[in-house]
Amino acid sequence: MNQDKLLKLIQKEESETIEFKENFDKETIETVSAFANTIEGEGKDNE
């Protein structure tokens, strides 16, 4: 995901697919990373 796409997502309101968090723990980071690195995810290498 590039910076422009991320900024567009941040400007939207929460929805069924977007939920904003003020803070989160290590387990949450690991889970998000796992999803981002799947075939359908848009991880660092899938820009």
Residue 22 has pLDDT above 70, yes or no: yes
Query: What pLDDT sits at residue 37?
Result: 74
Q: Give the torsion sign (CA, 2, 3, 4, 8).
A: positive
Residue 34 has pLDDT above 60, yes or no: yes
Q: What is the mean pLDDT of residues 13-40?
A: 84
Question: Which amino acid, residue 45?
Answer: D
Residue 42 has pLDDT above 80, yes or no: no
Q: Give the torsion sign (CA, 38, 43, 45, 47).
A: positive
Kindly report the pTM of this predicted structure: 0.42
What is the chain written as a DSSP string?
--HHHHHHHHHSPP-SS----S---HHHHHHHHHHHTSTTS--GGG-
Segments forming the whole domain that contains residue 19 = 3-46
For the chain, the domain total comes to 1
Q: Which residue pairs, CB below 8 angstroms and at least 24 apart, start in 3-11?
A: none
